A and B are shown apart, each in its own frame.
Chain A
Amino acid sequence: MAQVGIVVVSHSRPLAEAAVELARQMLPGSTVPIEVAAGTDDGGLGTDAVAVSAAITAADSGDGVLVLMDLGSAVMSAETALELLDDDVRARVLLSAAPLVEGLVGAAVVAAGGADRDRVATEALRGLAPKQAHLG
């Protein structure tokens, strides 16, 4: 069974933590690693590539890491973070274009079930499907 880690990158720490709380609600008893890299170190809005690379390292147990981001600098900081990682870790990391909240919930559920990284990534990208199906 794989243990894929997830990293949430957001401008806002409360936003990231609330998204993780929402996802964890679906995962009672699960220990799937979900790390947050969000906000500036003085508590403001912003992203920090060094913090993102540390979160990736913390979430990685060898089976890969999926990174979900909000917008703008979150994406560029995540890309920059890849440059700061060791080659072997970098090779296991995938940055996802999935919507942050929906993608996180979908990814966390399948990651908790032991899915591999590519399966977790696919599920994240399908995150909007239930809402789209419902609204027609």
Chain B
Amino acid sequence: MTLDTDALGAWVGEFARAVREHRDELTELDSAIGDADHGTNMDRGMTAAVAALDATPPADGAALLKTVAMTMISKVGGTSGPLYGTFFLRMSGALGDGSPAAFAASFRAGVEGVVARGKAEPGDKTLLDALLPAADALTEAVGAGQELDAALRAAADAAARGRDAVTPSVARKGRASYLGERSAGHVDPGAASAVLLVEAAATTLARS
């Protein structure tokens, strides 16, 4: 089972489709505790990323992820541009041989890039609260010898649990942190889009 360029392209395409499907919902979440642009920003970025891949087919998986990264940091406009852009950029640099173990390691490298870029910690109510548990679950499942489809399912479920776990919390990063206590009880928009990213991996890469 190898994660080749086509497989990664399918993941990116499915993420773009899911972002489009949930665009208004993500923006609505962001209007409650932020600046009401997360869905439109992510949709603009991922639509441009898919268009860039169509215009210039990438030579390999690393080039594919780098194109997504550069498009996100350029086109998204909001904080999610540098954050998701850094995720894909670091993943691109650590992609390895396409084995499930290499994919898990590169996913973790991407998440560590988000940590470095955003300087958020677990529980701050950001996309990391979905991505960190996903990386942990993926690493653990692959390390235990599980098939990639089971490992990615575990990662997607962990991401969703992580998103839900911080919903009651007070946001400590980004625009939502200006709201203080009023951010409690709202789903974090970044965590919500991060769940879509991991869910997209579970529905596409597992078929590789």
A residues whose Cβ falls under 8 Å from a Cβ of B: 11, 40-41, 44-51, 72-73, 76-77, 79-80, 83
Contacts and interface: CB of A to CB of B under 8 A. Distances in A.
Interface string B19-62: 00000000000000000010001001000000000000000000
A38 to B, nearest CB: 11
B79 interface: yes
B77 interface: yes
B174 interface: yes
A118 to B, nearest CB: 24
A6 B183 CA distance: 36
Interface string B123-167: 000000000000000000000000000000000000000000000
Interface residues of B, number: 22
Interface of B is mostly: helix
A77 B41 CA distance: 14
Contacts of A47: 77-78, 81
Contacts of A45: 37, 77
Contacts of B81: 46-49, 73, 76-77, 80
Nearest to B71: A50
Interface of B: 37, 41, 44, 70, 73-83, 85-86, 89, 117-118, 174-175
B77 A80 contact: no
Given A72-B175, A76-B118, A79-B117, A48 B85 contact: no
19 contacts: A11-B77, A45-B37, A46-B41, A47-B78, A48-B73, A48-B75, A48-B81, A49-B73, A49-B81, A50-B70, A73-B77, A73-B78, A73-B80, A76-B81, A76-B82, A77-B73, A77-B82, A79-B82, A80-B82
Contacts of A50: 70, 73-74
A11 B76 CA distance: 12
Contacts of B76: 46
Counting chain B CB atoms within 10 Å of each CB, the highest count among A44, A51, A73 belongs to: A73
B78 A51 contact: no
Contacts of A73: 77-82
Contacts of A79: 82, 117
Given A45-B77, A47-B78, 11 more contacts: A46-B76, A48-B74, A48-B77, A49-B74, A49-B82, A49-B85, A73-B79, A73-B80, A73-B82, A76-B118, A79-B117
Contacts of A83: 86, 89
Given A72-B79, A73-B81, A80 B73 contact: yes
